[in-house]
A and B are shown apart, each in its own frame.
Chain A
C-alpha cells in the first residue's frame, strides 16, 4: 500500500520464495475474516484478488443465516497463492524486494533512521513497518523436543528480537500457536469420509469487475475440489491421554499463551473429556500439490504419537504424514504501545502489523499491513493525517481499536461478536462502507470509485421507483422488509435491477429498524471519539482511581471514546476526564 500511494518502498524478507506462504490453513476468509478480506479489497488491497485467482473451493459460511452472519471463505492453491503474490509484488511500481535477515534498527538522535541486515548492509528510511510473523525468537516444539525456528524449515530471527527490546525498549511478550500434520492425498481413503463440496454459485471475493490476470497465469482456471470430514474416536483420545506427560504444554515447557479458539487436540481431550469424538476436516492444499491439511487436530505431541493419532482416524489408517504437527512460540510487542494508526507512540516513524501485535490469522495481518503501510508512507511523505478506521466503519477498525484498548490475553482473532455494529459491517457492503475512504487516501482507483458511486446512485433511483409502486396499498419498498415477501414472484411487474441492487435493497429493508437504532449509538460514540485527549495529558487527577490512572497512562488513549473502552475505567471516571478536558 505504501508503494501504491507513491512511496519508494523496500521489502526485506528472509526468503523471497516464502512471501505469502500459508503457514497454516490453505484457506482465506471465514467468519469475520471473510468480511475483512472484502474490506481489504474495498480499500485497494490485493488479498481478495489473489485469493480469487487461486481458489479451488468457495463457500459462503452461514449462507442460510442472516446477512450479517454470512462470511465467504475459500480454499486456495497454496503454491499458486504465494507465487502469484510474489509476482505482483515484484512487478509493482515503487516496490523493491530484497532477501536478507534484518538484524537491527539504526537509531540516531532518538529517531529511527534505518535498518541493518545480516550482510552488514544499512538501509536508510523515513518510516519503518515491521511484520515479523512468528519469527521473533521463534521456537518450535515437537513433543519435548524443541528447536529454534521461525516456521518449520525456516530460521528464527533472534538478533532482531534483541534489537527491538534493547535498542527500542519495546515491552514484549510471548505467544504460542500451532499447526496440524499434512498427509499425502494418495494415502487417504476418501470413501469412508463425508464430502464437503464447493458452493454451486460462482461467487468470489473481490468486488472489482475483473481479475487482472498476470502474464504467467494466463486464464488460469483451477479445478474446484471438495474438503472431507472424518472424526476422531476413543482410541485417538486414548493415545493422547497415554502420552500427555510428553506434551510440552502439559509438562510446562511452553510459556507462551495459546488461543482458546484454537486449542491443540490434547487440550480438547483434556478439557472436554466427555466428548467421544471430534471432527477433522481434510483440506486440499491445492491442485499443484497432493498434500492435505488436517483441520481440527493440531498438536505438539511427539512425532511417534502423531503417527498413532492420525492412523486411528477412519480413512487415515494407512495415511502417510508428509509434515509433522508442531507448536510454535514467538515474541510479540504488547499493542498498548501503539496508537490507532498502528504507529508505536514512542517511535513515531515505526509501524507494526500482524502477529507482532499479538494477532493471529492471514486476514488480520493483511488488514494491519494495509493500514500500517499506508500510514507509514503518509508520514514519510508528509501527506497529512493517518488513516484511522472507526469501529463503526469496519472489522479492521474494530480490530485495531481492540488492540490499542484491550489486554492481549491470547493471540487475537476477529469474531463477528466483537463488532457492536455487526448489522452494518457486512461482507456484502464492504465496498459501500470503505471505497470512499480508500479513495480519499489515494489507494482506490478511479475505475473502482466510479463503480461504487454508480451503485449508490442506482440504489437511490431504485428506492425512489419502488416507493412509487404499490400493491395492496403498500409500496414495494415497505413490502421488502417482510421476510415472507418475494419480489421475484412479481416478475415483470417490477423494474429490472441487477442482483446486487436487489440484495442491498432487501438487506437494508430487513435491518432498517435495527440499524437506525444502532446509528443512535454510533452518534453517541462519535461524540466521545471527537473528544481528543492530548498525548501529554496529566492523569494525576482527583476522582481517578489508581487502577484507572495506571491503565490510562499505559495506553494513552487518543480519544475519550478509547478511554471509555479500557477495561477498568468506569463511566464516572470518564465523566471526570470529560470535565477536565473541557478546561
Chain B
C-alpha cells in the first residue's frame, strides 16, 4: 500500500510548465533501461558517456518522433541527485511534447513520482545531509497537501464520481468472490458467473472510455500554446487584441511594429490557451527586428497550434504558407481584413480583426482542430490526467485478466486481480487502498450461526 524506496523507477517533469525548455527526470534501478527505449542518439543511451549531454531524438512509446532535437544525460548512481541511476531529458517546452514524453515513460514502465519523492530518495540514499532533513519533510508535507487539495477538487467532480462508481462495482464483485471462500457453508444468494463477467465487462468498457479522454485531460489541465504568425502588418496584433477583447499589443500600420513576442492567457471554448503574438516574419535589415523574427520562429516552433495570418485584401502577397511552416500538424490558415474584401479566399478562414466578423467561426475551427488532432472526444467534464491514465491502465489490465480465473472458478486468483485493480483506482481517488470487503459482505449477505 505504501510506496517507499523500492525497486520502482519513477519519473516526472521537473521544471515548471510553460518554460522554453522542459526537463524530464527518471530515477531508479531501471532508469537507463527504460529511457533507452525512447531515445535515438548517435549511439545508444546505454553506450553514451556518463554525465555528458548528448543530442538526439526523443521518441514516444509507440516510436513516433516527439522531439527531433532533444538533449539527454545519463547519470549512473550513486553519483546522481537521488543516488540512484538517473536519466534526464531536456526537450522543447511545448506543453504537449513534454506531456506526451511523460506518458511514454509511464507506458514503458515508470511510475509517476509522488510530490517530493526525488528529494526523499536523495535523502534516504544519503545524498543530502542531515540539516536538510527537515526541509525534506516539509517538501513532502507541502506536496501531499497540494495533492490532497487537487484530489479533493477532482473527487468532487464528475471524474471522482465515475471512479468511485468503478471502485464500488469492483468491491461488489469482490464481495461475491470472497464470501464464496470465507462462507462456503452459508446458504447465500450468490449471482451466477455470467453476471459477474458482465459486471466486469461493464467496468472495463467504462475504464476504456475514461482512458480515451486522456489527451483531452492534459489539454484541459495544462493548456495549449497558440501562436499567431505570418508576414508583417497583416494585423496579427489586432487579432490578438480582438481575441482578448482589450488592447494588449501595440497596433500600428507601420510594418514590423511588433518586434518581440507578446504573450497573453486566454480561455477559448473552455480550453486554456497561452496566446503568443509574434513579430511579422520577413527578411529585415534591422537587427532588433531580425532578433524578433528569430524569436517568433522559435516560439511558433514550440507552439501546439499556429494561426498563420495573411492580409486577405492584399493581392500581391503570397498566399501560401512558407514550406517550413506547412509541415506542422496544427496550422490554421487565416485571412484577415475580410471587411475590405468582396469574395472569400478559398481554403482560408476569413476574419476581420477590426469588426470581429468571422471570429466565432475561427474559434470553432480552433476547437475542432484541437480535439481532432488529439483524438479525444469531449464528454461531460471528465478528463483523466497522465498520472490517472497510468494507474487506470493498470487497473483495466487487471480487470481484463480477471476473466480467466473467473471462468476456471479460481476465486483466490480472481480476488488478486480485483484487489489490484481496486488498489490502482484507490491511488487515483485517495480512497482506502485496503478494501473493507468484509463490510460489504456483511451488509449484503445474511451470515452467521
A: residues with CB less than 8 A from B are 24-25, 31-32, 61-62, 64-69, 180, 259-263, 267-268, 271-272, 275, 278-279, 281, 295-298, 415-418, 422-423, 483, 514, 520, 523-524, 527-528, 541-543, 564-565, 570-572, 574-576, 578-580, 582-583
Contacts and interface: CB of A to CB of B under 8 A. Distances in A.
Interface string B148-185: 00000000000000000000000000000010111111
B431 to A, nearest CB: 12
B184 A578 contact: no
Contacts of B186: 279
A541 B415 CA distance: 38
Contact of A579 (B140, B143, B178, B413): B140
B136 A61 contact: no
B141 A524 contact: no
Contacts of B184: 31, 61-62, 65, 69
Interface residues of B, number: 46
A332 to B, nearest CB: 20
B264 interface: no
Given A260-B442, A543-B141, A578 B124 contact: yes
A527 B124 CA distance: 13
A272 B448 CA distance: 12
Interface in B183-230: 183-187
Nearest to A528: B4
A50 to B, nearest CB: 22
Secondary structure type dominating chain A contacts: loop
A528 B3 CA distance: 10
Interface stretch (B48-56, B58-66, B343-351, B404-412): B404-412
Contact of B446 (A66, A271, A422, A565): A271
Given A271-B446, A579-B133, 11 more contacts: A66-B413, A69-B181, A69-B411, A261-B448, A272-B446, A297-B449, A416-B182, A417-B182, A418-B438, A541-B137, A574-B4
B415 to A, nearest CB: 8
B410 to A, nearest CB: 5
B449 A278 contact: no
B138 interface: yes
A262 B130 CA distance: 53
Contacts of A541: 137
B182 A31 contact: yes
Nearest to B182: A415
A180 B181 contact: no
Given A417-B181, A527-B6, A571-B2, A261 B442 contact: yes
A262 B410 contact: no
What are the 4 A-B residue pairs with the smallest beta carbon separation, nearest first?
Answer: A572-B144, A543-B141, A272-B446, A260-B442
Contacts of B120: 575, 578-579
A423 B408 CA distance: 16
Given A65-B411, A542-B141, A572-B143, A298 B3 contact: no
A272 B124 CA distance: 53
A25 B437 contact: no
B291 interface: no
Contacts of B5: 527
Contacts of A576: 137, 140-141
B134 interface: yes
Given A296-B448, A571-B3, A65 B409 contact: yes
B140 A543 contact: yes
